[in-house]
Chains A and B, each alone.
Chain A
Amino acid sequence: MNKSYLNRFTFPFLLALILMGAACTEGFEEINENPNAPEQIGPQFLLSNVISVAADRNTYEQGFRLANYLAQFAASVEFERIDRYEMGSNAGYWNGTYRLINDLESIKKSPGTNEAYQAVADILRAYLFSQLTDMWGDVPYTDAIKAGEGNFAPAYDTQESIYTDPQQGILATLRKASETLAATNSRIQGDMMFGNDLNKWRRFANSLRFRFLLRISKRLSNFSEMQQLADSGDLMRGNGDNAVVPYLTSAPNQWPMSQAALGLYQEHRMTLTVDSVLRLWNDPRQNILYKPTAASVTAGNPQFKGLQNGLNRETINERGINLNDVSLFGAIFRDVPNGVDAQYMLYSELQFSLAEAVERGLIQGNASAYYEAGIRAHFQYLRAELPPSYLSQASVALNGDRNLEKILTQKWLSLINNGHEAWFQVRRTGIPALKPGPDNLNEGKYPVRYFYPESEQAVNRENYQAAVTRMGGDDINSKVWWEK
């Protein structure tokens, strides 16, 4: 009895445990190998991620939800306090953008990378860094994305060097990427934007370079690079070159506003600013970008009506404004899941930029031709029919009367939903002249940047403070270098 129990129970246990003791760490590395995700990945998967995510963020979170208020394409009814210039830090975009730049670094280091991937990654990198510096001013650039090398608190670079450093600046990077793409035999995959067409990438890079040269043009004295680009024939050639990623019909790639709470959609109203501009131009794009008011439709006489920006709910009530009689955004922004594209840059923007550059005398060329090409392209892009007399109206034609204002106002409208581009333009040129709303929380000033993310105060304090001191305060009214 005694012995049999010993054998039956204890002995096998004991044996197993002795064996265990003999192999204390055997198989450990295998156990701790993560089965859920790869350690190495082909560059195309990362590229697909960056292209689509960056475009979506720029268009929905940044464009529709934030910048459309700042640029006065949208006015808020109650909750979207950015319309009253409570700017906040926009930290989600800061974090997400640096994360995408990290993906671009991984493309460059991927075993499957090549010259073409590197160049495309550089173009996207230049674009993403421009977003960062244009929203916040000085940002980590040369020191950024070096956590892998042990730098967890990167120093901030000045905006001037971020754009113009002859080796590493955004402009130099774009030039080099364009040259590489012109010469390379390498190919890429995973590009849903240009269908892996490197020529389109090259033209996009050059068009971006033109965008940035114009952005910093107050700080430039030599405009030959702009002239070269204008003459090169190597810029976007039509809407077919638009840097856009279509939204799809099914989740998770739908235009997010098509699924959002009704209240969020109704927070975004047509503004008095847009209303007056479109009215002045007799512009049929109004029917696409906005809806006639519910009250006017009920009354059988559809009308568009804008709301003044920067009103709080009480003021709206005190003024007796009937919200049922204020226009909402158009069907493409709500009623279909794929009514709009996620955008980087449209051909029309480039044409307006060329027109502006000519009009300002920065380059030689035909401003009207560029201007009209821009208008035609934007109508075509929105699938709106251009009325025959549209271009010849006094309010539209470049007839010597306020030409620059006309160019920039058309350009401004074409930038609706395209991230913060319209806001950047207003900050740079003051056109259109936007008035802060009556209930704004910025002492009547038009804000020109976001606060740095609070997390930078917490985790990168010294570098944050150095940048803030240099910029004259972490303030939404501190102008960045290209605006000064």
Chain B
Amino acid sequence: MVLVTGAVFAQGATFTGKVVDTQGLPIPGATLTELGTRNISITDAEGKFTFRAEKVPFTLRVSFIGFQTYQVEVTVSSDISQIILSESTSELNEVLVTALGIERNRQSLTSAVSVVDNRTLSDVPQPNLINALAGQVAGVQVTNGSSGVGSSSRIIIRGENSLSGNNEALIVVDGVPIQNNLIASVLFNDGANIQEVDYGNGAADLSPEDIASITILKGPGSAALYGTRGANGVVLITTKKGRKNRGLGVSTSSMVTFEDLLTLPDYQNEYGGGTNGQYAFQNGIGAGINDGGISSFGPRLNQGQLIAQFDSPSVDIDGNPVRAGDVLSRTFPNGTFTPITPTPWISRPNNVRDFFRTGVTSQQAIALSAGDEKGGFRAGYTNFRNQGILPNTDLMRDGISLSLDRQLTDRLRFDLFSNYVNSRSNNRPNLGYGYENVMYGFNWTGRNFNIASLRDYWQAGQEGIQHYDFNYLWTTNPYLTLFENTNGFDKNRFLGNASATYDFTDKLSLRVRLGADIFDDKRTFRRAFSTNRRVFGGYREDQISFQEINTDFLLSYADRLGSQWTYSLSAGANRMNQEISNAYTEANQLALPGIYNLENSRVPLRGASQEFSKRINSLYSFGNLAFKDQLFIELTFRNDWSSTLPASDNSFAYYSGGVNYVLSEAIQLPKKWSYAAIRFNAASVGNDTDPYQLNNTFQFNQNYGSFIRVTNRTVLNNPQLKPERLNALEAGLNLGWFKNRMMLDVSAYQNTSINQIIGRPISTASGFSNRIENGGEVRTRGLEAAISGSVISKKDLEWTMGVNFSTYRSVVTQLPEGVTQYVTGEASVFAGSGGSNTVFYIARENGRIGDMFGTGFRMVEGQVLYGSNGLPIQDATLRLLGNYNPDFFLGFTNQLSFKRLQVGMVWDWRQGGTIVSRTRALGSTSGVLTETLEGRETGIVGQGVVNVGTAENPQYAPNTTVVSASSFYNNFFDRGNEASALYDASYLKLRQLSIYYSLPEAWISRIGFEQVKVGVVGSNLLLFTENPHFDPELNAMQGQRLTYGVEDMSYPSTRSFGFSIKTEF
């Protein structure tokens, strides 16, 4: 095209043109800059610009967030009538939002920063925003919660620096931190109370549709400015702004996905419920043949037998037809029963699978946006509905967001983002070890039992009073659990921020900002009459409130030194106030069945309430210095004062310094090399702790009658706490080839954590079980690499591919004084009689963080020692079970565009790590898992040795004693014995797949649309892993915490598949 777009003036020129994306769609709001000057212009709603330059030739830079920055030498005759920006993922020149919301050119950053492709966020919108980050970024590890949609996902960046458990990255929205931790209800899984419930992490409240971009600051270097909570890395979320448009822009996104089971324990289907090959139902408490038992070592299936079962036909004492399990109606006053008509004893391989239903998730979003040269406005509404794969579980979310930005005067700018979210559920499933978790119950359900026939879950004539079941000693009908024993919640959250920026001069500006995150969460727990652990049911209400207010200001000055150097200096302050309270009230038994309120209590109500307050004041400053586009230097300084530390030690400073040197600007690189830069960064950051860790207090116990009871806490506080310190070093290398079509980004880092504040387990014989203290020294070394490339880049076909790799290893380099091994925590799930079931996390000097210890069998020369009874001998000595940390992670991303078709794909591979499985232990003990088939008919001779000599003079010979399968599995997989229930936690997953098609403009413009994209999307489509029973990725939750390396009767994970339509008009 030959066009003269520049009108030549004396020495200047005016150019007009249009900025568009690769599909030719206009990009409004793109910035055009004449390099080296303050001459700036912004495209209008149609992407059009008029740019006037004083002198020609000059360098024009065109940038827009999410797109690769475009730079061109403009001469009088240049054609810049159409500037095409290509969407960028990890390109060098893009403008990134970095700490404190400051936009920076990527090249000027001196520590590792990654940007998540915003297409990934919206192409396959995840119910939990955190999940969208899985597999995308080197060094970022995401794990899903185990109770499906709505459960907590964790995000860990560069491994675990902290031993105290909270390693999660800080989530920041438009520069203001938001609450992301799971705030758990105080529940005790002691066999008689309510089991754990996962109500989700805070960031899940955000709608992916409101998000413009996500930047991840990985190391403490880049996070230094976020203060104490930034030490584990920061996820910076930038919300969408209104943009210039013709009139009102409307965009919609509509997606429906269907979830089904990705995993399910591999159950055996050859033997039914019962013991010793025998079973017959009578009353489910022992009057029949083994009908008080709940294991699956019963009669062989499909042998043509007829056996009385709980759902076999029977009659009540008046002769009306009932089910055999309607025991109360079948019992004569003298204690005898009406007869049962036996039914076929056949296998039902899908009895558990069929218990689940297809989950349906609908995510609908609509956004209005408008804007002009002086600012924009955007309002969005998101509607999220999920029906879980477990019957009667759900999650609903409605969010309204409002964004406003306005250049009020030449010098004053105002920005606002606010988001109101209501999320609620009628029922979230219980987790953990016990009957409130239906997966636990299925281990104790005869493999052949028809679970579907439990659906009508009240006994005849006993509605609301007595449930119907196959066993009345232990179990609770799983439908009763899910339909009556609900755990609901209703959470209202407001989060937002408002800032005003005033430019005193072109060089000096001030921004003041107020951020708030406030929510109330009411949780209600119902328990019906005849629930086995709560014969009289129960009702409990929890009220959780959270409030965090951040106030800050930032004064910035930018100027140049001579013609080659530019610099900026900023200083600011922040105050954070946080108030958390939680309270519960409980009617531990109900007076009347079916009425769930606090008045309907048979017993005095019990309850507790707690409040926590915390304040952090901070001052900070930072500076950047740049020499051309060649050398960039950053320095930051921050000081925090935290209310949680002793007065003498509550001030702690952070420093960081870094340099990025762009070699390719300084020296001539070999031909195909287009870019090379090296960077170094060093940082030292501090950290505080939770409130009230200094002075000891007593705690209230429940009263005995009218006697008030008070006891010591089990945790010993420490008035001499010092702030934690984390010293970080990082070196990185960025290389580009073929005009940056291929890019490599490598970082190596070392984090040394000193004076960590942990609740170290101590001998309970000292009076306390844990002591709050500054711990030893932990050193983490890691390596990350990301390679991305445009494999094909043609007009109609574009294929970009990325591989990211990360590995790290943490070791204890110094133990606390006088300690030879460092117990950093424990995970305990079973405390009945017999062996305890506890995994200890123990770090020995130079030992690895994440080493798990537990008990196993007594070993003789590598062989299991058996007793004369043919059973393996347990040994209470702790031994190393494995390490829960992976050896490495690898993510693989693909984006393919062919004409109007776009395909995206993410794979996620985790290699290594050990997981202790409760499902394996319990399901083998009970005989439901497929590995318990071996030896059912013949008995089992355990592999190992027996002592055929004396105790003093042992002689070992191979074990030859045959024992029955059930005896063997009961002992071999005894729950006190962790060593026999280990799996490798490696997996490979197809995380995301999306295929979108943009309808031709010709079709859609007729009906008034600008853009319509339709697609099919899927998540978690494939899983490859060693163990056949569960997804090794899922988090377990014990007490109020998520735990590591332990699988605790996890729910199946899901695969989702669905359809999406996105429009703009």
A275 / chain B contacts, CB cutoff of 8 Å? none
Partner pick for B709 among A49, A80, A147, CB 8 A cutoff: A49
B771 at the interface (CB under 8 A from A): yes
B9 at the interface (CB under 8 A from A): no
Interface string of A445-463 (1 = CB under 8 A from B): 0000001111111111111
B287 at the interface (CB under 8 A from A): yes
Q: Are B701 and A102 in contact (CB under 8 A)?
A: no
Interface string of B979-1019 (1 = CB under 8 A from A): 00000000000000000000000000000000000000000
A20 at the interface (CB under 8 A from B): yes
In whole angstroms, what is the CA distance A105 to B698 when docked?
13
A80 / chain B contacts, CB cutoff of 8 Å? 832-834
Partner pick for A103 among B290, B295, B711, CB 8 A cutoff: B711
Q: Are A443 and B868 in contact (CB under 8 A)?
A: yes
Partner pick for B192 among A29, A259, A460, CB 8 A cutoff: A259
Q: Are B512 and A297 in contact (CB under 8 A)?
A: no
Q: Which of A1-60 contact B (CB under 8 A)?
A: 1-2, 5-6, 9-10, 13-14, 16-17, 20-21, 24-25, 27-29, 31-39, 41, 45-46, 48-49, 52-53
B589 at the interface (CB under 8 A from A): yes
**Among B295, B614, B692, B764, residue most surrounded by chain A Cβ atoms (within 10 Å):** B764
Q: Which of B576-590 contact A (CB under 8 A)?
A: 588-589
A398 / chain B contacts, CB cutoff of 8 Å? none
Q: Which of B246-294 contact A (CB under 8 A)?
A: 275-276, 278, 285-287, 290, 292-293
Interface string of A131-154 (1 = CB under 8 A from B): 000000001100111111001111
In whole angstroms, what is the CA distance A283 to B836 when docked?
38
A98 at the interface (CB under 8 A from B): yes
A312 at the interface (CB under 8 A from B): yes
In whole angstroms, what is the CA distance A65 to B833 when docked?
8
B610 at the interface (CB under 8 A from A): yes
CB distance from A254 to the nearest CB of B (A): 8
Q: Are B833 and A66 in contact (CB under 8 A)?
A: yes
Partner pick for A253 among B336, B705, B868, CB 8 A cutoff: B705
Q: Are B836 and A89 in contact (CB under 8 A)?
A: yes
A415 at the interface (CB under 8 A from B): no
A453 / chain B contacts, CB cutoff of 8 Å? 764, 836
Q: Are A153 and B293 in contact (CB under 8 A)?
A: no
A20 / chain B contacts, CB cutoff of 8 Å? 551, 573, 575, 617
B667 at the interface (CB under 8 A from A): no
Partner pick for B833 among A10, A46, A82, A297, CB 8 A cutoff: A82
A228 at the interface (CB under 8 A from B): no
A14 / chain B contacts, CB cutoff of 8 Å? 510, 512, 553
CB distance from B690 to the nearest CB of A (A): 10
A230 at the interface (CB under 8 A from B): no
CB distance from B708 to the nearest CB of A (A): 5
CB distance from A204 to the nearest CB of B (A): 18
B710 at the interface (CB under 8 A from A): yes
A300 / chain B contacts, CB cutoff of 8 Å? 334
In whole angstroms, what is the CA distance A123 to B428 when docked?
48
Partner pick for B853 among A24, A77, A98, A458, CB 8 A cutoff: A458
Q: Are A21 and B573 in contact (CB under 8 A)?
A: yes
B39 at the interface (CB under 8 A from A): no
Q: Are B285 and A266 in contact (CB under 8 A)?
A: yes
Q: Taking CB as reference atom, which chain B residue is nearest A21?
A: B573
Q: Are B698 and A32 in contact (CB under 8 A)?
A: no
Q: Are A314 and B276 in contact (CB under 8 A)?
A: yes
* Total A-B Cβ pairs within 8 A: 336
Q: Are B691 and A81 in contact (CB under 8 A)?
A: no
A192 at the interface (CB under 8 A from B): yes
Partner pick for A98 among B474, B502, B761, B767, CB 8 A cutoff: B767
B966 at the interface (CB under 8 A from A): yes
Q: Are B694 and A17 in contact (CB under 8 A)?
A: no
A92 at the interface (CB under 8 A from B): yes
Q: A25-B650, A455-B826 are in contact. Are A152 and B834 (CB under 8 A)?
A: no
A153 / chain B contacts, CB cutoff of 8 Å? 762-763, 766, 818-819
Q: A6-B412, A298-B335, A443-B868 are in contact. Are A454 and B836 (CB under 8 A)?
A: yes
Q: Are B617 and A99 in contact (CB under 8 A)?
A: no
Task: Give the B-binding residues of A (Cβ under 8 A).
Answer: 1-2, 5-6, 9-10, 13-14, 16-17, 20-21, 24-25, 27-29, 31-39, 41, 45-46, 48-49, 52-53, 65-66, 69, 77-82, 86-89, 91-92, 94-95, 98-103, 105-106, 139-140, 143-148, 151-154, 190, 192, 245, 248, 250-253, 256, 259-263, 266, 294, 297-298, 300, 312-314, 317-318, 323-324, 439, 441, 443, 451-463, 474
5 contacts between A and B (CB under 8 A): A20-B551, A27-B615, A32-B691, A101-B767, A263-B473
Given contacts A103-B712, A251-B589, 11 further A-B contacts (CB under 8 A): A24-B617, A29-B643, A45-B709, A49-B711, A53-B711, A95-B769, A192-B707, A252-B606, A294-B287, A456-B765, A458-B826
